[in-house]
């Protein structure tokens, strides 16, 4: 049978009763003869409470102690699930990140995985024991606990799946898969049976909150098939559907998808700010002078558009970034005005980025024109545009966000079964 890594998020393990439901899902796979490892998040709200206590103790706290505190949430969940599984007759044992070991770099609070040794886990799994692993954490080179950043349990699960050569990594969430767009905006949105790694990476980075971006990156690099499904489905519900998979969405290599839609989904993200530097000196290195200091401050810049200014001798540079980073970015740019050499700085908040995503766009012309025409007919003004092989993103006023999403979802036929 298969080797499966099962990951359960905070809402799935929010109470002991829900942990019993999770245990029933795990037991179902064990009883089916699969080798199983489980990765868990902290119980819903637990990490927020731990962070609040840490900040109450000291606003300026040691990052290593912060990690020691917030990692305890997953430790509690892993122990509770192991106990419940044992009470159900399933051999289980909890593991912390350092016990595997899952090794990280030294960036406490937002560490990246350096390596993971799967031998201990494989040995336990082949002996019919279920390792229950605390997600979100590992061990840094200084032998201290390091955490992977919010949502890091998804990344832990994919890393474990790669390390043990799992056939699949099942991510159980409070939704039953990946949809063509947000069903709260478009009730006709359809669940996708399959989506390619590249498409899911774009969806995740552009506003779809089903998976953490880093987990999708890791899955794509290591070719880990990821299956998104709901933990709120009954554990004894029928497991079969087309392709032998239960209800959900398989994130896989492009080669596994027989027929590609031209457009796979519509993603959006609100709370975007726009900054424009007017009449910037048009000389080599000016872009590095603008974006280098922002990168040093860990400010993530997205859409970048550069145009020749009205005088023909200078250039205007427009870019977007999260609204939360806008004040810091303005402070940095104003401090470097003379060094960069711009005449004026304009900024606007209240912007939204809407993106059309699909691998099928590579071989089809006119996809962008179709989007622009549809938005124009609905009176939606586009502030900026960026494109790639499989993505078209437009920046618009937030007031038109839902209208734009519904319009694009319909114009590409995504609301048709």
Using a 10 angstrom Cβ sphere, with 0-12 exposed, 13-18 middle and 19 or more buried, the burial of residue 387 is: middle
Top pLDDT among 236 and 33 is at: 33
Mean pLDDT of 392-416: 92
210 marked as part of a ligand binding site = yes
Q: Report CA dihedral (204, 210, 213, 218) to the nearest 10 degrees.
A: -120
The whole-number pLDDT of residue 33 equals: 94
The band of 242, judged by pLDDT with boundaries at 50, 70 and 90, is low
253 marked as part of a ligand binding site = no
184 marked as part of a ligand binding site = yes
Q: What is the pLDDT of residues 144-173, one digit of tens each?
A: 999 998 789 999 999 999 999 999 999 998
64 marked as part of a ligand binding site = no
126 marked as part of a ligand binding site = no
Q: What is the pLDDT of residues 188-238, one digit of tens each?
A: 999 999 999 999 998 887 766 778 888 999 999 999 999 999 888 888 776
315 marked as part of a ligand binding site = no
Do 282 and 315 touch, CB atoms closer than 8 A? yes
d(Cα 149, Cα 9) in Å, to the nearest integer?
14
236-245, 332-341, 362-371: least confident range? 236-245
On average, the pLDDT of the chain sits at 91
Mean pLDDT of 270-291: 87
Question: How far, in Å, are 147, 323, 365, 367 from residue 262 at the CA level?
Answer: 39, 32, 10, 8
pTM assigned to the model: 0.85
Instruction: Specify the residue for token string 């119980």.
Output: 43
CA-derived radius of gyration, the chain = 23
Q: What is the pLDDT of residues 111-155, one digit of tens each?
A: 999 999 999 999 999 999 999 999 999 999 999 999 998 789 999
The band of 341, judged by pLDDT with boundaries at 50, 70 and 90, is confident
Half-sphere exposure of 231 (CA within 13 A, CB side): 24
The band of 59, judged by pLDDT with boundaries at 50, 70 and 90, is confident
The band of 243, judged by pLDDT with boundaries at 50, 70 and 90, is low
Do 351 and 359 touch, CB atoms closer than 8 A? no
173 marked as part of a ligand binding site = yes
Half-sphere exposure of 347 (CA within 13 A, CB side): 18
Q: Which two tokens stand for residue 365?
A: 């012309």
d(Cα 366, Cα 370) in Å, to the nearest integer?
6
The whole-number pLDDT of residue 70 equals: 95
Q: Which helix (H) or strand (E) holds 69?
A: helix 63-70
State the CB neighbour count (10 A cutoff) for residue 209: 13
Top pLDDT among 28 and 388 is at: 28
Residues 6+ apart with CB under 8 A from 300: 321, 322, 325
Backbone angles phi, psi at 297, to 5 degrees: -90, 10
353 marked as part of a ligand binding site = no
Q: What is the pLDDT of residues 297-337, one digit of tens each?
A: 888 898 888 887 666 678 889 999 989 899 999 999 999 88
Residues 6+ apart with CB under 8 A from 378: 400, 403, 404, 407
Using a 10 angstrom Cβ sphere, with 0-12 exposed, 13-18 middle and 19 or more buried, the burial of residue 52 is: exposed
47 marked as part of a ligand binding site = yes
Residue 400 confidence (pLDDT) above 70: yes
Q: What is the pLDDT of residues 384-394, one digit of tens each?
A: 888 888 999 99
9 marked as part of a ligand binding site = yes
Do 249 and 228 touch, CB atoms closer than 8 A? yes
DSSP 258: S
């Amino acid at each position: 049978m298969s080797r499966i890594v099962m990951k359960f998020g905070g809402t799935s393990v929010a109470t002991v009763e829900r942990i019993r439901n999770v245990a029933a899902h795990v037991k179902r796979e064990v009883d089916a003869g699969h080798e199983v490892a489980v990765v868990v998040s902290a119980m819903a709200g637990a990490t927020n409470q731990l962070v609040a206590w840490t900040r109450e103790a000291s606003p300026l706290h040691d990052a290593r102690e912060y990690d020691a505190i917030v990692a305890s949430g997953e430790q509690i969940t892993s122990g509770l699930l192991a106990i419940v599984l044992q009470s159900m007759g399933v051999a289980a044992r909890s593991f912390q990140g350092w016990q595997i070991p899952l090794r990280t770099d030294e960036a406490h609070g937002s560490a990246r995985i350096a390596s993971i040794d799967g031998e201990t886990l494989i040995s336990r799994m082949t002996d019919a024991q279920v390792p229950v692993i605390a997600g979100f954490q590992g061990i840094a080179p200084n032998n201290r606990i390091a955490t992977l950043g919010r949502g890091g349990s998804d990344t832990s699960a994919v890393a474990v799946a790669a390390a043990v050569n799992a056939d699949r990594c099942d991510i159980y969430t409070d939704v039953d898969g990946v949809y063509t767009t947000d069903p709260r905006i478009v009730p006709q949105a359809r669940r996708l049976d399959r989506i390619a790694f590249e498409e899911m990476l774009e969806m995740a980075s552009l506003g779809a909150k089903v998976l953490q971006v880093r987990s999708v990156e890791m899955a794509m690099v290591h070719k880990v098939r990821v299956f998104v499904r709901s933990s709120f489905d009954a554990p004894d519900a029928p497991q079969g559907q087309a392709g032998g998979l239960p209800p959900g969405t398989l994130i896989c290599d492009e080669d596994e998808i027989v027929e590609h839609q031209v457009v796979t989904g519509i993603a959006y993200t609100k709370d975007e700010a726009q900054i424009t530097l007017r009449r910037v000196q048009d000389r080599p290195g000016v872009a590095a002078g603008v974006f280098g200091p922002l990168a040093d401050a860990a400010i993530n810049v997205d859409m970048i558009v550069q145009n020749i200014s009205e005088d023909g001798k200078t250039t205007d540079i427009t870019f977007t970034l999260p609204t939360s980073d806008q004040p810091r970015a303005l402070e940095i740019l104003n401090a470097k005005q003379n060094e960069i050499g711009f005449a004026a700085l304009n900024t606007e908040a209240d912007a939204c980025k809407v993106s059309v995503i699909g691998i099928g766009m590579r071989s089809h012309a006119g996809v962008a024109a179709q989007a622009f025409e549809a938005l124009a007919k609905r009176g939606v003004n586009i502030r900026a545009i960026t494109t790639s092989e499989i993505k078209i993103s437009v920046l618009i006023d937030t007031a038109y966000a839902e209208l734009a999403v519904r319009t694009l979802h319909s114009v590409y036929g995504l609301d048709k079964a």
